[in-house]
């Protein structure tokens, strides 16, 4: 299980300022909010507290907690709910994190192995995202480093006189298509000839390797191919070979976020969250901040600028290869009342299962 992060100076002061009675009332307010999404009042608290306190005494403590910035009243004369600061204090200092049961561990491992067996590793990551969405009220997210795989086949397919499709089939079964503009006057057989030239040199090579090989053997290519076909080969590789590594985002379970909405403002919050998720670059940047954590990292509400308007929380953990190189991050995003006690260990364990799968031949 991930180690609990050290408390900030503000959190340390806040927790040490709470006596046992205040701490228990604060705990019950937060746990009630996480379970129901609703504020809790003094009368209800008096029934569930493990100590005997009158509603008036509880209201006095709630007022002190509010003055400390840990809870607030969403409506006049209503109960109290935790603030983002209160949630952060609870998660960092008071949350009782359980463990993943043996049954859940077996289910996670079986689902992940089935998804990875005979398929691309991306299918296993998509399964991890779907699995995490299934154990939360949120959406499952995975950001992974997409490396250049070894290629199996390249084909140029003409779409119209000015455009062709470059079809890249990798050894792991993945397929990528890219549009390629065609030079005027290209001979009819040039696309086939260019594909044959590359496929004769493709075995065991990534796109980056193939591009380097062609540059080294430029004179050989110019002898075998006419000028326009040679340019087609170069253009095709230039179109498909980008940076050695790029990021991809996998999201599953967005529909979960539409369930259990309490009010119109909840629907607006989810609309804003969907808008955030469509901004993939920003989501990837945010998830990447969890890459250097030793275990699970939790972002709550406005602690991250991206989700400040939608009031959402993110629970994320990195996964690594056999050399402990971080290859990506997976996690759950949803309302701030996520079931942290359940989701944190699930995210942590799923990341470990994905890391183990990376060590196995596929």
CATH of domain 102-148+245-358: 3.30.450.40
pTM of the model: 0.69
Percentage of residues in the chain having pLDDT higher than 90: 23
Q: Name the pLDDT band for 1 (thresholds 50, 70, 90).
A: very low
List, in order, residues 6 or more apart from 178 with CB less than 8 Å away.
165, 166, 168, 239, 240
Q: Name the pLDDT band for 124 (thresholds 50, 70, 90).
A: confident
As a whole number, the mean pLDDT across the chain is 81
Q: Does domain 151-240 have CATH number 3.40.50.300?
A: no
Question: Is the separation of the CB atoms in 59 and 7 below 8 Å?
Answer: no
Give the whole-angstrom CA distance, residue 37 versus residue 30. Answer: 9
Q: Does domain 9-94 have CATH number 1.10.10.10?
A: yes
> How confident is the model at residue 63, as a pLDDT?
93
Residue 259 pLDDT > 80, yes or no?
A: no
Report residue 347 as tokens.
């995210």
211-238 pLDDT, tens digit each: 888 788 778 787 888 787 778 778 777 7
Residue 242 pLDDT > 70, yes or no?
A: no
Q: Name the pLDDT band for 9 (thresholds 50, 70, 90).
A: low
Residue 279 pLDDT > 70, yes or no?
A: no
Give the whole-angstrom CA distance, residue 234 versus residue 191. Answer: 12
Q: How far apart are the first and last CA of the chain?
A: 28
Please give the backbone phi and psi of residue 64, each rounded to the nearest 5 degrees, phi first.
-65, -40
The domain ranges of the chain are 9-94, 102-148+245-358, 151-240
> How confident is the model at residue 244, as a pLDDT?
40
> How confident is the model at residue 30, as a pLDDT?
95
27-82 pLDDT, tens digit each: 999 999 998 888 999 999 998 888 888 889 999 999 999 999 999 998 766 799 99
- The conformation of residue 182, written as its DSSP 8-state character, comes to P
128-159 pLDDT, tens digit each: 999 999 888 788 988 886 656 778 888 888 88
Percentage of residues in the chain having pLDDT higher than 70: 83
């Amino acid at each position: 299980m991930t180690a609990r992060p050290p408390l900030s100076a503000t959190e340390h002061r806040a927790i040490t300022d709470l006596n046992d009675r205040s701490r228990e009332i604060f705990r019950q307010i937060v746990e009630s909010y996480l379970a129901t999404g609703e504020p809790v009042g003094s009368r209800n608290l008096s029934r569930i507290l493990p100590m005997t306190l009158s509603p008036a005494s509880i209201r006095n403590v709630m007022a002190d907690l509010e003055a400390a910035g840990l809870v607030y009243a969403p409506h006049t004369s209503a109960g109290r709910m935790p603030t983002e600061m209160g949630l952060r204090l609870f998660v960092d200092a008071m949350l009782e994190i359980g463990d993943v049961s043996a049954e859940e561990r077996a289910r996670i491992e079986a689902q992940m192995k089935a998804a990875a067996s005979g398929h691309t590793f991306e299918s296993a990551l998509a399964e991890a995202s779907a699995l995490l969405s299934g154990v939360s009220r949120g959406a499952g997210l995975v950001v992974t480093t997409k490396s250049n795989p070894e290629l199996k086949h390249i084909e140029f397919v003409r779409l119209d006189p000015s455009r062709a499709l470059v079809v890249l089939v990798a050894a792991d079964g993945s397929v990528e298509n890219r549009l390629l503009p065609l030079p005027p006057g290209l001979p009819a057989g040039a696309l086939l000839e260019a594909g044959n030239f590359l496929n004769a040199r493709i075995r065991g090579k990534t796109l980056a390797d193939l591009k380097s090989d062609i540059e080294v053997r430029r004179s050989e290519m110019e002898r075998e191919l006419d000028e326009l076909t040679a340019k087609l080969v170069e253009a095709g590789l230039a179109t498909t070979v980008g940076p050695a590594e790029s990021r991809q985002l996998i999201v599953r379970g967005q529909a979960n976020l539409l369930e259990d909405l309490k009010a119109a403002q909840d629907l607006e919050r989810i609309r804003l969250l969907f808008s955030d998720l469509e901004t993939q670059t920003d989501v990837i940047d945010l998830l990447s901040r969890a890459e250097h954590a030793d275990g699970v990292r939790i972002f709550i509400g406005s602690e991250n600028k991206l989700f400040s308007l939608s009031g959402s929380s993110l629970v994320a953990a990195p996964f690594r290869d056999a050399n402990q190189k971080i290859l990506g991050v997976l996690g759950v995003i949803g309302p701030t009342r996520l079931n942290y006690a359940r989701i944190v260990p699930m995210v942590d364990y799923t990341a470990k299962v994905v890391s183990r799968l990376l060590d196995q031949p596929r």
